[in-house]
Structures are given as C-alpha cells and as structure tokens.
Structure 1
Amino acid sequence: MKFEGNTLRVISNEAGIATLTLDLKDSSVNKFGAQALSELSDVISELAQDGSIKGLLITSAKEAFVVGADITEFMTWFQLDDDALAQKLQEAHDIFNGIANLPFPTVAAINGLALGGGFEICLACDYRVMADSAKVGLPETQLGIYPGWGGTVRLPRLIGVDNACEWICGGQQKRSAEAMKDGAVDAVVAAGAVVDSATHLLEQVLAGKLDYQSRRASLRAPMQFSPIEKMMIFESVRAVVGAKAGKHYPAPMEAIKTIEKGIFQPIDKAIATEIKGFVKMAKSPVARSLVGLFLNDQQVKKAASRYSKDASTIRHAAVLGAGIMGGGIAYQSASKGTPIVMKDIRQEALDLGMNEAGKLFGKQVERGKLTTDKAMQGLGKITPVLSYGEVANVDIVVEAVVENPKIKQSVLAEIEGQLRDDAILTSNTSTISITHLASELKRPENFCGMHFFNPVHRMPLVEVIRGAKTSEATIAKTVAYAQALGKTPIVVNDCPGFLVNRVLFPYFSGFSALLKDGADYQAVDKVMERFGWPMGPAYLLDVVGIDTAFHADQVMAQGFPDRMGHEGKNAIDLFFESKRFGQKSGSGFYLYEEDKKGKPKKLKSEESVQLLNTLHGATKDISEEEIIARMMIPLCIETARCLEENIVASAAEADMGLVYGIGFPPYLGGALHYMDEMGLAAFCELADQYKHLGKLYEPTVTMREMAAQQRRYHPY
C-alpha cells in the first residue's frame, strides 16, 4: 500500500509492515485538524481491508510526534449544539477505534512530544516505544475540558485508575522514565533508535513472541474492583484532586466521574460516557476562558516573534542594582545561557544579589533539574562588579535601581557614557514614564523599558515599553532578550504604570475605597481569593511592598488625577508613614515570621486593625457581591482604556498581560474576556450602580457604543 496526503503518508514493505508517517505540510509540528482526521480515516479504512498488511507502525516526520488537536479548528466544534458536537467526537472515536481494531498489531514510535490527541492515538495502538527525550501527556484539563478521543477510557485500563487520574487531572507532561514506570509505554530507547526499536517490537509480535490479541481483550473489557477497592481509590483521588483544582476549575473532578463510570463499562459504552461528559465541559464558560487564553497566548507569542525575528543575538548583558530583583534578573539570564554582569555601588548589595542567584540555582539542584556542576557553571556566568569596567562591551543593560525618577535618570545617564553606541539601555521601572527617563539621554532611541515582575524566576511576563523616541531596533533586541530568558514579552506604549500597573492601581483604589466605607481588609482578601485571585489585595500590597505601592500610587495619581488621585490619607499612606512596608519589614496589613523553610508566614495583626480603625472607624459587613463589583469594575474599565488608547495593541495582549503579570484568575480569561462573558451592556449597567464612587466606575464612551451594538473584545 502507498498513500501520500497533506498530513500523512503510508508505505508498506515486502514483509507486509506498513509505516504511517504523520507529516503535516507547511507546518513545523503535527496537529490534528479536520484534514488530518479525514486522511487518517481514509487510510485506516484502506489498511483494514488490505490483506497484504501484517502490521502497522505509526511514526512522525517532525521533531514532535503530535502536539494535539488544532485548537483553532477545535474552537468551532465547541460552538456546535450538543448533538452535533457529540457526532464530531464520535467520528474521531471511530478513527481511533479503527486503529485499535485493525486485524493486525500496531506500534507507535513516539519520537517527541505527544500530547492530547497525539497521545490518544498512541493509546489506541497495541504497543508504544518512546524516545528517552520525548514527553507524553493529556493536558486537556488545563483548557477546562478533559480527554475526548479515548484518553479517559484507555489510559486507566493501561496504567491503573489512580495513575490515570493523576495524569489526566494534573494535565502534566510526563518524561519517558515516568511513562515507563507507570506502564504507559512498553520501551524507552535513544531518540535515534525509536523507529528501529518499534519495528523490531512489531517483528517480535508477528513472530508470535508477544500476544497482542490478549492484550487488546484485557484493555477492552470492564475493569474489576471490589466495592471497598473502588471506594478507597476514588475517595482518595477526589480528595487530592478537589483540593488542588478548586471550585472554579470543574474539569478534573468531571474527569474523575467519567473515569469512575467508564471503567466498569465495555469500551464502546465507556466511550459514550466520555463523549457525554466532554460535551458538558466544552460548553462551560471555564472552557471558553481557558481555550481563549491558549489562543491569546499563541497570538502574544506570534506578536513577539514578529518583533524579534530580525534582531541580533544578545551575547552579554548587565544589570545595574543588585539585591533581590537584580539577583533574580541575573539568575534568569545566567540560567538561560546569557552571561551577565551585576553592577552595584555596595559590596553588601552584590553579596545579596549573588546569594539570591545562588539560592535559586541551589533549588534547581534540590529538585533534580540541575547537577551541582551545571549549577556552578550557571552561577559562574554572573560577574559581580563595583565598577563600570566590565560593562563597557555588553549588548544590553537592565537598570534595576530604586524606583525614584531622579536616581534612575542619574544612573542611566552615567551608564550610557560607558556603553558602545549600539548597546541597548533599558529600565526595570514599574511605573515611571520611559519618555521622561529618556529626556537626559544622548541616545534615547537606544532606550526602552523592560519591566520584570517579582519573583523574576517565576513570573512569565516582561513588559517592553516603547518611549517616544525608542527605535524599533531597540524594541526588537529587547524582545529577543526577553524571549531568550524564557519570558513572554508584551510590547506596550508609554504612560504612567504602562499596562499592568496602570490597571492594577484602580483595583487597589477600589480596595482603599472599600476600607474607607468600613470593609474589613481580611474579609475583602478572603472574598477575592475565593473569587479566584492568588492573594487578596491587602496581602498583595504586603508582597509588593507598601513603600513601593506608595511611590507608585503617587505616580499614578499625578498621571491620572481625575480618577486615581484621592483626597486625604488612605490605608497605603497610613502604613507607609508607620513604616509598615509589608513582608520586607515583617509587618504591613499582616505580620510575617519565617516558617521552617525560611519563607514568610502570614499572621493576623491586631495593630493593623487598630490603625485602620483610627483612619476609617470600626468595620462593618459589606456583601460579597458588592466587594467583587467594587474591586473588579475599575480594573476592567482601565483595561478597556488601555486598549482604546493603544497602550496595548490587542485584547489578547491586554488579557494575557493581566493573567501573567498580576495573576488575574485564569478561569475568567482576563478582564476583557470577563466583560465579554458578562455582556458589555450588563457590565455597564453594573458599573452605573456605583457611579457615585467616581470616575473609576464610569465606562468609556466606546464601551457604551460597543454595548449598544452587542460587540465583543474577543472573537471567540
């Protein structure tokens, strides 16, 4: 047999072994779209009827095996009615069942990444041979759904219920050693030997040394458990998964329900159970949000790549200002292979920065991610210096000194004189105008903002800020450096606070107004955490630093006095005056003491309660609905303003900036998606209920026009 299509090809040899090679044309990866499924269906039907075929090998011509379904096409499935979506799923199942029911043995040669549908096609095969460098997994729960092409049916029968629940509900990629240990694959070999090893395994089966028919029979039949065994397995799994997933992410718990029902059914009925549950999840608002974020993330990465495609490589970097932030930036650069000079005027600051980087490398060793030698090599890529001599030949500098415009301007002007004419100079400012900082520079075209988020090694976002005179070449090189650091850069235009902090401070303003009206800050924190934020506003202010927030609040009030200025003293002012700077000082809204691991542990502070009582009086109850509305409305409106004023180029970048930068609840999809889901007309009506609170609660003219026309920010 021979077949050549746009997504795959098939050729058979004289021994009757057919090789199906997945190879999507004009793409760097294989993914399952409508055309791939159609060609696969035709080929499997033809193979089943070809009496000359004795066995089938499925492999890939790409570096990855199959990365999963084509999400852009898959989104159109979600918009179908329930019956039509179920029919689409059944058609995909028919293809995979066709592979599982072929009248000869099948082996998947997994040469690289096999995720989602890409792993489910492997599960439909009788045997799996995996490269030691490959990874496999079923990440669908991270999109608010669960495996829909047989994953919940075949994986539990293959590796056991508890392992399958952990794989599916966690949605993580599994390395070859773990896949082999759990029984998900039959052999792990060197990457270059995958096809030969899979072919050899197939020959062993054809020689009668392995019984593929009995294996098939056991994987089709219902599983057998006593009532006590079943109860112990699923009660334990539900407890662990429920605690991790939380109420806002229902897919993992729904996957458990499907698995629990399906394992006691014959495979055809178990598939019907999977389809029914999948349809339910696909129609949920959480799935719309999470799939939307996936598409937004792809859009953001494409936008960044358009900037950086022609940029020259950054071979050597420098960071000005050591300490925690400077050490974090230095670690990130060194850990990704770019040598970096860390400059400060104080030896103790350099010691702190090197200690921070050393701790981060040490944690990688503890987790088994690095050997001690590799960690030492990484640390060796950081050069701590007190003078500018080592900085003269670097390609890019990140200034990370104190958030004070005069100090930053002085440092930037000083370092500019030490650099090559083509070197890029950036500032890690969180709020100060890039155009203002550039006003004293001789080469403002070589200057831009590069705003990292703390902790640097964990936070994925970097804001790249374009000043009035910043050149496109500067933006391109800075974006390329951010990508080299493993970060997601978003290019924004200059204004006080840029995108993320400009949007965050109206949220803090809503919090301050709630306190003024008698809200208990601890109650507000609990409400917003239940709503999905990683931490409430009081706790977040403590983590950011009350001193940092105080200075940023002044910048924002000066930049947007009509809505971010405030009369009289607020809670941030009060705590700043009291030198309660948050975690860094051991006290803010909460008290902090180190736990056994040396991490700050949050404790209740009666002194904070009393201080706020002197400012605002005794607390009173405010409903959860009002707290959420008063916190979220200013943030959402300011996000819309940033889009309208072209501070950020697209709705996708705006929403991803908030998710990646401040932990906006992913299940809500970002501020603009949140308004899309609510409906702009409904959002404007809600905002109007709070118009007495001032300009922060006034939707823009464009928002009202969009509401009247029933328009959305996102196409999905």
Structure 2
Amino acid sequence: MIPDTVVETGPPAGAGEDACPIPTKSAGAYAKALLDTERQRTVGAPGAAPLPVRSVGVVGAGLMASQLAMVFARQLGVPVLITDLSQAKVDGALAWITAHLEKLVSRGELNETAARELGSLIRGTVDKREYANCDVVIEAVFEELNVKRAVFAELEPLLRADALLLTNTSSLSVTAMGQGLAHPERLVGLHFFNPVAVLPLVEIIRTGNSDDVSLATACSLARLLGKTAVLVADTPGFVVNRILTRLFCELLQLIDNGTDIELADHALDPLGLPMTPLTLLGFIGPAVQLHICEAMHAAYPDRFYVSTSLAAIADARLRGYLDKSGRVLPEAAALLPAADVGSDAGSYADADVIKRRILDALAEEVGLMLTEKVVPGPADIDLCMLLGANYPRHLGGLTPMLDQSGASRRVWGKDFHPDAGFAH
C-alpha cells in the first residue's frame, strides 16, 4: 500500500551534487527508455488468446475493494458486482463509491451524466450466487491465507468453468491459496497498489499451476485497465513489498537497538526518495506493515526482522512513529525499547553509515530475488519501484542507485548494470 505521491523527474529541489548520487542524465534516460518500452507488452506474457471480460465480481467491501470496483467499472465500462458478509458493509462500499463519484464531478473530471452511468454499473449483494455469470472475480478481503482460501472454496462451485479467479494479495502465496481448488490453474495474483486509480503498476503473480489462457487474460485485463503489468514469480512479498519491507526491517532494527529515530529516518534523504521511510509507514499503517513484516520473517527469518517497537505502536493503535508534520510522536517514543548496553547503536550515530547499511541490505535482497528468478532481470525490479513505489525517475528505479552507491559491488562483487556507466 503506497500513498499517492508525485514522482520526481529530477533531483530534489535545492539538492546539490552530493545530494543526488546518480548521474541524472544516464539514470533518467534509462528510466525513460524502460517506461517507454515496458508499457507496450508484459514481458513473459504467454501468446494465448485472452478471454473476454464482460462482467466483474469483487469480493469484499472495504476501501481497496471499493477502489477496485470503481476502476473496473470506469476503465472497462462493464457491470461490477460487490459482495460482503453483511448488507451494511455492502451499503458502506456503495456509499463510498457514490461519494467518490460526486467528488469527481466537483473536480470536473466527470460530468453528472457520466457519473450516473458509471454508478449504475456497480451494485452490491450478500448473495455470492450472483457471481455465476461473471467472467472475472477478484477477492480483496483480509490478508490472511485461511480467509482467502475459504473465499475461493466457496466461490469455485458457483462460477462458470472458464471464469478467471484473481487475488489482490500483497504478499501471500497464490499457490497455497489455490490448494484444494478443483481448478487451481485459473487462479492468478493481480496485485494492485494503493491508490488503485493513481498508481500504474500491477504485479501479476504466476504459479506453477497457472495456465496460459488465465495468464494471458490477466495481462490483457491489466492493459485494458491502463496499468503496466510485471509478471512475477509466486514468492513472499513479490517485488515492491519485499524490497520496502527489507528497508523497513533494517531501519526499525536500528531504532529498536537505540539509534536516534530522526537520524535513522532521514538517513536516506540524499537519495531524493518520495518520502522518509517512517512517513511511508504512517500511510501504510503500523498494523498492516507489522503483518507484512511477520509474513516476511516467517519466510526469511535471517533477513526480515519483526520490530518490538512497531508491534507496540500497532497494539496501541497509533498512526505510526510520526505525527502529520513529521515529528516523532511522544506516545511512540515512549514505546521504544531501552537500548541494550551491548547494542551497536553507537556504530550507527552517523547518517552515512546508516544509509550504507540499508543500501547494502537492499542490494543483497535484489541479488537474491534475481537468483530466485522472481523476475527476469533488474529492469523488472526498477519498473516495479518506479511505478509501484514512486521511486524518482532520476534514480532510474533502484538498481542503478545501488550500482552508483557501490552497494552492488560491496555485496556481490559486481554491478547489476556493469556496462551502463551508473557506477564511476
């Protein structure tokens, strides 16, 4: 879940040469070429003919589900059906959609006739049997494997044999989700980013069971929605959440060990990222990020840390570590663990040392993702970070910055782009 933030096309305002560690022209040109090329067709998409999408079902009535219903209706112009366990939740989603349409009219983005027609395409019910004629059904329920399994187990007997099943999971195994289904080959991950209408990336998660028609339909659907799709292997966290969570885990471990919060949070400022890590965490929400950290720790316990302070902040229902102005919340500071006498906090009293540790951790994670063949190459990772995490284009995404900083060579003994000239 990434907030709507303007993507910078150059160094941060007022930044000097030291503040922008990437040669702007080469990295910017790399990003431009990447975006111009990759928006045409999904790399690795099968050549099978996609099935038509004439109606869509959305399981769930929360904010993400409501946004998905709006995007499907607006971009495809097809009927969209929302369900949830209670009529009150369904009514709440429909009310949000009505209010959002009114906002679009007030902004001049839609006229009243178009808004009425769009609203008429979306309806809600508690009866999942009404999904019987949907070409596509996507779930956007609570991020818990057993909950999602139960949803698909209930849905499968109600749907046509050729209906495409989609999950909007942000980190869970799609393969595990399909266990027990009669036709797991038609289940595909379609991970949208928040806000759905704004961020252009969709991670399409393929499994060992996914058939070519299902994948081709998912890729075609992403294009029809105006999204750029990256085909990703079914591994924990996929691309964007895996990288961002590794960043969070490194930062929060330092904070839990006694490193000054503000020093740690601003150590990456010279890179010109869209916002500081703790600001981003506030948008995501402590409880959501804690859940992702725990899932990633279960998969990779040696690299992904579960923060005691984040757990305490989530339990206290705070908005995060910072207030809306970016200052440390006193209530959050009070929940930080006391630094151990033998901790290495003193080793991280310098922003450059903190930045180096985090960049080295990201370089390690990127290299491991490429080894695991999560995506075909570093360009796919950069595309994901540019479009799903709003990384500034002057950075070229992520891997050019890791090369230029020296992190790639420190960790792997070589650059991710040895012939590109990012490192010098």
2:50 equivalent in structure 1: 311
The aligned runs of 1:415-494 (5 Å cut-off) are 415-494=155-234
> 1:560, 1:345 → 2: CA distance?
34
Q: Is 1:362 aligned to 2:129, yes or no? A: no
Kindly indicate whether the alpha-carbon contact (under 8 Å) linking 1:521 and 1:538 is maintained by their aligned counterparts in 2: no
> 1:306, 1:405 → 2: CA distance?
27
**In the alignment, residue 325 of structure 1 is paired with which amino acid?**
M
1:610 equivalent in structure 2: 334
How many matched pairs? 407
Aligned match for 1:531, one of 267, 271, 275: 271
Cα deviations across residues 486-532 of structure 1 (Å, max 9, x unaligned)?
11111101111111112221111111122034223334334434532
**In the alignment, residue 23 of structure 2 is paired with which amino acid?**
P
| 1:463 aligned counterpart, secondary structure | strand
Aligned match for 1:286, one of 24, 29, 45: 24
Aligned match for 1:589, one of 321, 330, 333: 321
Higher relative contact order (CA 8 A, sep 6+): 2
Q: Is 1:342 aligned to 2:56, yes or no? A: no
Normalising by the residue count of structure 2, what TM-score does the alignment of the two structures yield?
A: 0.87
Aligned match for 2:40, one of 294, 298, 302: 302
Residue 399 of structure 1 and its aligned partner are, at CA, apart by 0.6
2:3 equivalent in structure 1: none
Larger radius of gyration: 1
1:556 equivalent in structure 2: 296
Normalising by the residue count of structure 1, what TM-score does the alignment of the two structures yield?
A: 0.53
1:377 equivalent in structure 2: 117
> 1:288, 1:248 → 2: CA distance?
18
Cα deviations across residues 290-318 of structure 1 (Å, max 9, x unaligned)?
22111111332234287377323311111
1:637 equivalent in structure 2: 364
Residue 559 of structure 1 and its aligned partner are, at CA, apart by 1.0
1:279 equivalent in structure 2: none
| 2:54 aligned counterpart, secondary structure | coil
Cα deviations across residues 659-708 of structure 1 (Å, max 9, x unaligned)?
21122232211221213334xxx3256x4xxxxxxxxxxx3xxx32x35x
Residue 248 of structure 1 and its aligned partner are, at CA, apart by 5.3
The aligned runs of 1:395-406 (5 Å cut-off) are 395-406=135-146
Give ranges in structure 2 of 5+ residues lacking alignment.
1-7
Residue 570 of structure 1 and its aligned partner are, at CA, apart by 2.6
Kindly indicate whether the alpha-carbon contact (under 8 Å) linking 1:320 and 1:400 is maintained by their aligned counterparts in 2: yes
**In the alignment, residue 405 of structure 1 is paired with which amino acid?**
L
The aligned runs of 1:135-284 (5 Å cut-off) are 246-247=13-14
> 1:530, 1:660 → 2: CA distance?
21
Cα deviations across residues 329-386 of structure 1 (Å, max 9, x unaligned)?
1111111123211111122322332233233323322222210111121121111111
Kindly indicate whether the alpha-carbon contact (under 8 Å) linking 2:203 and 2:230 is maintained by their aligned counterparts in 1: yes
Residue 422 of structure 1 and its aligned partner are, at CA, apart by 0.4
2:5 equivalent in structure 1: none
Kindly indicate whether the alpha-carbon contact (under 8 Å) linking 1:461 and 1:487 is maintained by their aligned counterparts in 2: yes
| 1:345 aligned counterpart, secondary structure | coil
> 2:190, 2:417 → 1: CA distance?
34
Aligned match for 2:248, one of 508, 528, 533: 508
> 1:508, 1:347 → 2: CA distance?
38
> CA 1:426–1:713 in 2, change beyond 3 Å: closer, same or farther?
farther
> 1:536, 1:302 → 2: CA distance?
32
**In the alignment, residue 101 of structure 2 is paired with which amino acid?**
F
Kindly indicate whether the alpha-carbon contact (under 8 Å) linking 2:51 and 2:213 is maintained by their aligned counterparts in 1: no
Kindly indicate whether the alpha-carbon contact (under 8 Å) linking 1:143 and 1:287 is maintained by their aligned counterparts in 2: no
> 2:95, 2:179 → 1: CA distance?
35
Q: Is 1:653 aligned to 2:380, yes or no? A: yes
> CA 1:411–1:511 in 2, change beyond 3 Å: closer, same or farther?
same
Kindly indicate whether the alpha-carbon contact (under 8 Å) linking 1:445 and 1:474 is maintained by their aligned counterparts in 2: yes
2:151 equivalent in structure 1: 411
> 1:408, 1:635 → 2: CA distance?
30
| 1:506 aligned counterpart, secondary structure | helix
> 1:521, 1:302 → 2: CA distance?
42
> 1:480, 1:248 → 2: CA distance?
41
| 2:124 aligned counterpart, secondary structure | strand
Give ranges in structure 1 of 5+ residues lacking alignment.
1-141, 145-243, 251-283, 583-587, 593-600, 688-698
> 2:404, 2:379 → 1: CA distance?
15
Residue 424 of structure 1 and its aligned partner are, at CA, apart by 0.6
Residue 388 of structure 1 and its aligned partner are, at CA, apart by 1.2
Residue 321 of structure 1 and its aligned partner are, at CA, apart by 0.7
1:224 equivalent in structure 2: none
Residue 432 of structure 1 and its aligned partner are, at CA, apart by 0.6
**In the alignment, residue 549 of structure 1 is paired with which amino acid?**
Q
- Please tell me the root mean square deviation across aligned C-alpha atoms, in Å: 2.9
| 2:36 aligned counterpart, secondary structure | helix
> 1:659, 1:430 → 2: CA distance?
17
| 2:189 aligned counterpart, secondary structure | strand
> 1:625, 1:503 → 2: CA distance?
20
Q: Is 1:325 aligned to 2:64, yes or no? A: yes
Cα deviations across residues 414-451 of structure 1 (Å, max 9, x unaligned)?
11111100011011111111111111211100001111
Kindly indicate whether the alpha-carbon contact (under 8 Å) linking 1:639 and 1:671 is maintained by their aligned counterparts in 2: no
| 1:304 aligned counterpart, secondary structure | coil
> 2:99, 2:208 → 1: CA distance?
39
| 2:205 aligned counterpart, secondary structure | strand
